[in-house]
Structure 1
Amino acid sequence: MVIRNFLLVSLLLTGCASQAPFPETANRPQQVISMAAEAAPQSVVATVTMQVQAVGNQQGITYLNSESDYRDQRNISIAISPAARIKVEAIFGGELSKVATGKRILVNGSAKRVTIWFFDNNGKRSDKYYYQTQIFVSDPAQIHII
């Protein structure tokens, strides 16, 4: 009886363990962009699968982009915090700017539509902007190579 109860509890706890979602249940970038636009200005929890087309860095944050031009309205940017970058690089097997392009990834997290403003040559914000959908990665467990 004790063994049976132990096995039952073990099975239940195993089902509660955090696991990477299956790629076939993940959303495409366009779906996540639509979800984030509908939820704006709030974020929405999402899982996306995409191929990394470009990598960028700004103010310590590393961005993995689903399009070669990060300004493309079809782009999702995976924003990796400086604290998580080293562990994410260990997952990828090297510096992200050198090894991430071309990799197919699965990412889960909060997707948010972010307003990106343009600035003039004097650093003054103009009235021009575009929207970019970003998923912020602060924990390396949020990202998987598939």
Structure 2
Amino acid sequence: MRIALLFPALLLCAGCVHRAAVVPPMVPGWISPPEAVHAANDDPHRGIRGSFVVTVQAVGEDERRIYLNTERDYRHQLNLTIALDRSLRDALQAQLGLPLEQLHNHRLLVQGTARRVRIDFTPDGRPSGKYYFQTHVDVTDPRQVRLAP
């Protein structure tokens, strides 16, 4: 009788563990860009969740997104990119108290999850089959970003 009750309980617990594994682990303290990149590479599906301390070295944008990079070359292996929708520009500038173009050499604390993102080379808008990886923290709310002390 005990075995009959134990087996469904074990299946239920196994299901709980599987669902819990999808959420990235929260890391205490501040996470540096190299730590974030290495952790995101170690577990590309979950990434790493926490507070990232970054010094902005480059600001870029395309037609949809704004990118704050920790390296001057956004393709650098240890670059951590803070990526946000362009519609958040005004709110983030108000939150930080300065234009995004003036963030060079400013330290930020960013809450979120760093994940490995595949970047496809698309000459003339067509995928070439070549790609590389970046590590991104997606910002969906300006309150995720603040100036570091």
TM-score bracket, normalised by the shorter chain, equals 0.7 to 0.9
Superposed displacement of residue 29, structure 1: 0.4
**Alignment partner for residue 114 of structure 1, among 105, 117, 130?**
117
**Deviating runs (4+, > 4 A) in structure 1?**
none
Q: Please report the TM-score for the alignment, with normalisation by the length of structure 2.
A: 0.74
Contiguous gaps of at least 5 residues in structure 2 = 1-27
User: RMSD over aligned Cα, in angstroms?
Assistant: 1.7
Q: Could you report, residue by residue, the CA deviation over 1:22-72 in whole angstroms, capped at 9, with x for unpaired residues?
A: xx9201101111111122133431221111000011123111100001111
- Cα distance in 2 between the residues matched to 1:83 and 1:43: 25
Q: Name the counterpart of 2:146.
A: 144
- Cα distance in 1 between the residues matched to 2:141 and 2:51: 14
- Mapped pair 1:52 → 2:56: yes
Q: Name the counterpart of 2:12.
A: none
Q: How many residues align?
A: 121
User: Secondary structure of the residue that 2:50 maps to in structure 1?
Assistant: strand
Report the AA paired with residue 128 of structure 1. Answer: K
Q: Tell me if structure 2 keeps the 8 A contact 1:42–1:112.
A: yes
Superposed displacement of residue 110, structure 1: 1.5
Q: Could you report, residue by residue, the CA deviation over 1:75-112 in whole angstroms, capped at 9, with x for unpaired residues?
A: 01001223432111113323312x11111111110111
- Cα distance in 1 between the residues matched to 2:32 and 2:90: 26
- Cα distance in 1 between the residues matched to 2:70 and 2:90: 21
User: Secondary structure of the residue that 2:129 maps to in structure 1?
Assistant: strand
Identity %: 35
Q: Please report the TM-score for the alignment, with normalisation by the length of structure 1.
A: 0.75
- Mapped pair 1:131 → 2:100: no
Contiguous gaps of at least 5 residues in structure 1 = 1-23
Q: Name the counterpart of 1:9.
A: none
* 1:1-146 superposed matches below 5 A: 25-97=29-101, 99-120=102-123, 122-146=124-148
